[in-house]
């Protein structure tokens, strides 16, 4: 009777282990990047999130075969752990100071010179995205209540030159009260909106305005408009994108966290550039 023995060469065993480590490293890097993208503004930009995810996977596979693998495992743990805390606990509403960024002023009884509604994203069909729609609907409610004689809307442009002007006009038509609607065109930043509105209104002596924008954007936006010379009454738009007070689902908590991170970073930039008072 003969016995057949199977021999596995050490080299083949090492190669197999290396492949497993590389696959594990790629998977960890991918998960870490997707968690980071969801927690940050990158998650709102699929054109960046997914291509970089491929690169992150390849880099993770390489790092897993080097002494830097420990850093990869640690970063993966931190990213996934942070994601879990933000999405599954009330951290953003009970610990994070999100409410401090919300400014909502009482409107003066004698009225204002204009209501200024800040812009937001544009869909591929040239329609207002959710945040921009929330802002405009809140501004139109003010115009319905005769808060000011003029509505100013700001308008970004996509790279192909498209705007949401038609969508803005359709929504404006929902309010039957006659009032002028003017546009500050081709804006990219809140600073652009403030400077453009100042150029449009200062010739008419219109300096007392209501600025309407998303809740966490109010503090920085109104400070920017005040810095160029306006007397501002800040109005927090009714938000369907996130809830500052009742972020109970994982999706709501993540949206609120992204908005907070973005605004904190933007405050630092605006102070450094001198666009708001220090």
Tell me: the pLDDT tens digits for 183-214?
999 899 999 999 999 999 998 999 999 999 99
135 and 49, same structural domain? no
Structural domain count, the chain: 2
State the Cα–Cα distance between residues 233 and 150, nearest whole angstrom. Answer: 15
119 and 21, same structural domain? no
> What tens digit of pLDDT does each residue of 2-52 get?
555 545 555 555 578 889 999 999 999 999 999 998 898 775 666 788 889
E strands, 63-149, where?
Answer: 114-117
Contact of 244 with 216, CB cutoff 8 Å: yes
What end-to-end distance do the CA atoms of the chain give, in Å?
90
143 and 118, same structural domain? yes
* Residue 239 maps to a domain: yes
Q: Choose the final residue of a domain: 88, 117, 152.
A: 88
pTM over 0.75: yes
147 and 197, same structural domain? yes
264 and 150, same structural domain? yes
CB under 8 Å, gap of 24 or more: what pairs does 38-47 form? 38/83, 38/254, 39/79, 39/82, 39/83, 39/86, 39/254, 39/257, 39/258, 39/261, 40/258, 40/261, 41/258, 41/261, 41/262, 43/254, 43/258, 44/258
241 and 166, same structural domain? yes
239 and 116, same structural domain? yes
Q: Choose the final residue of a domain: 63, 88, 113.
A: 88
244 and 133, same structural domain? yes
124 and 233, same structural domain? yes
140 and 112, same structural domain? yes
The pLDDT of residue 17 is: 86
* Domain ranges, residue 260: 98-273
* Residue 111 maps to a domain: yes
| Cα–Cα distances in angstroms (integers) from residue 192 to residues 212, 228, 235, in the given order | 15, 11, 19
* Residue 6 maps to a domain: no
């Amino acid at each position: 009777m003969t016995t057949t023995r199977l021999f596995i060469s050490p080299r083949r065993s090492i190669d197999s282990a290396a492949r497993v480590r590389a696959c594990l490293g790629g998977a960890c890097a991918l998960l870490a990047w997707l968690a980071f993208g969801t927690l940050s503004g990158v998650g709102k930009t699929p054109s960046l999130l997914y291509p970089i995810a491929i690169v992150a996977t390849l880099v993770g596979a390489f790092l897993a075969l080097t002494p830097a693998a420990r850093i990869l495992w640690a970063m993966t743990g931190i990213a996934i752990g942070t994601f879990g805390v933000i999405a599954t606990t009330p951290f953003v509403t009970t610990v994070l100071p999100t409410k401090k960024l919300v400014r909502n002023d009482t409107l003066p009884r004698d009225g204002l010179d204009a209501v200024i509604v800040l812009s937001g994203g544009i869909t591929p069909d040239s329609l207002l995205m959710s945040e921009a729609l929330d802002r405009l609907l809140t501004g139109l409610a003010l115009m319905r209540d005769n808060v000011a004689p003029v509505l100013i809307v700001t308008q970004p442009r996509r790279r192909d030159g498209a705007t949401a002007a038609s969508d803005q006009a359709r929504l404006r038509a929902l309010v039957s009260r006659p009032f002028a609607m003017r546009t500050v065109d081709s804006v990219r930043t809140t600073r652009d909106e403030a400077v453009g509105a100042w150029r449009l209104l200062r010739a008419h002596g219109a300096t007392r305005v209501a600025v309407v924008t998303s809740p966490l954007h109010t503090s920085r936006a109104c400070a920017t408009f005040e810095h160029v010379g306006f007397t501002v009454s800040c109005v927090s738009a009714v938000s369907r994108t996130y809830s500052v007070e009742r972020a109970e689902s994982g999706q709501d908590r993540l949206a609120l966290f992204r908005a907070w991170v973005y605004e904190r970073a933007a405050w630092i930039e605006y102070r450094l550039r001198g666009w708001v008072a220090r």
